[in-house]
Structure 1
Amino acid sequence: MTATLLPSERLTSGQRVRSALNWANGSTLFGLAVAALGHSRVRQGPRGLWLADRYAYGFPIAGAFTVGNVLITRHDWTVRVEQYPDLLAHEERHSWQYVWCGGLPFIPLYLAAMGWSALRTGDRAARNLFERHAGLASGGYVDAPVRTWSASVRALRPSVR
C-alpha cells in the first residue's frame, strides 16, 4: 500500500473536527453503510478518512465518490491514486463539503449543482460548484464552456426525427 493511503498517525485539529462533525451529522455512518451495501473493502485511510474500494455498483457514475469521511471507488484505491495522484485531496475536500452542508443535505444540493452544470455546459461537473471547489482537474474532470441560454434550452427539448 502506498504511503499516501496509510492511516495517519496523528490528525490535525481540523481533521479531527471534520471527522467528529461528519460522525455527528450522520454522513460518515451513512457512507460506511453505502460501502457495506456495495460489498466494498473498507479500511482506515489517511487524514481521518475511510477508504472503500471494489464498490459493486455502477451508480453513481464516478471514478470515486465521497459520503461523509468515506471515500468510495469501484476500483482499487492504490490504482486510482497512481492514475490520479490528487484524487484523495479532491475527495477530502468533498468530505469538508458534507460538514458545511450539515451532512446528508449535501447529496440533494450536489445533485442540483450537477443538474445546473449539465444544463449550462452539457457536462455534469464543469459548473458544479462542489466539483469546482474540490478542484476539477484533481478529480479527473475537465472544464467546459458555458452554453448560451438558447443552447441550454434547445438541449432540454426532445429531438424530433
Structure 2
Amino acid sequence: MRRLHRVRRTLNYVNLSTPLGLLVARLGRARRTRGPDGLILAYDYRIPFPVAGAFTVGNVVLTRGQEGCFTEALLRHEGRHASQYMLCVGLPMLPLYVVALAVSVVICGDHAAWNVFERLANLEDGNYTRKSPWWFRPRSS
C-alpha cells in the first residue's frame, strides 16, 4: 500500500468518517472485506438510501451489489472520494456534498454532472455522464 493510502486510512479513522462508514455498513447489514489501497468494501448493503449504485463514507465503499461487482475504474472513483473525506477533515464532507449535489441539480438537473466532488473523482470512472448546463441547451419549439 502506498504511503498516501496509509495516511488517508489513518486520517479517515481519526476524523471519524471511516468509523461512520463502518456503522452505516453494519446498519445496512453489508458484508465487509478488505479492498485495494486501504479501502474497505461493503457488499449487499440493504438500506435503499442513497440511490447510488456505490457510495463512500470515509474509507468504506458500500454497494447493494455482490462481491466482485466493482470495476477498476469505479474503485479509483470511490478511492478519490475517500481522499476527499481526508481533505475535508471527515464529516464536513457530508453537508458539503449535499450542497454540491443541489448546485448540480440547479445547473443541469442531474445530481452528479456538475457536482464538484463527482467531477474531481472523474465522472466517467463513476459511470456518470457529462451534461450541459440548462442555459446552453437548445430550446424546444
TM-score, normalised on structure 2?
0.93
How much does 1:64 deviate?
A: 0.2
Residue 148, structure 1, aligned to residue 135, structure 2: yes
Identity, in percent, stands at 47
Aligned to 2:139: none
Q: Following the alignment from structure 1 to structure 2, what is the Cα–Cα distance between the partners of residues 80 and 13?
A: 23
How much does 1:109 deviate?
A: 0.3
Match of 1:27 among 11, 17, 37: 17
How much does 1:139 deviate?
A: 0.2
Aligned to 2:84: 97
Q: Which deviates the most, 72-81 or 118-127?
A: 72-81
Matches within 5 A, 1:12-161: 12-81=2-71, 85-148=72-135
How much does 1:77 deviate?
A: 3.8
How much does 1:111 deviate?
A: 0.6
**Structure 1 outlier segments of 4+, above 4 Å:** none
How much does 1:57 deviate?
A: 1.2
Larger Rg: 1
TM-score, normalised on structure 1?
0.82
Q: Following the alignment from structure 2 to structure 1, what is the Cα–Cα distance between the partners of residues 127 and 45?
A: 19
Q: Following the alignment from structure 1 to structure 2, what is the Cα–Cα distance between the partners of residues 129 and 25?
A: 21
Q: Following the alignment from structure 1 to structure 2, what is the Cα–Cα distance between the partners of residues 12 and 107?
A: 26
Q: How many residues align?
A: 136
- Report the RMSD for the aligned CA atoms in angstroms: 1.2
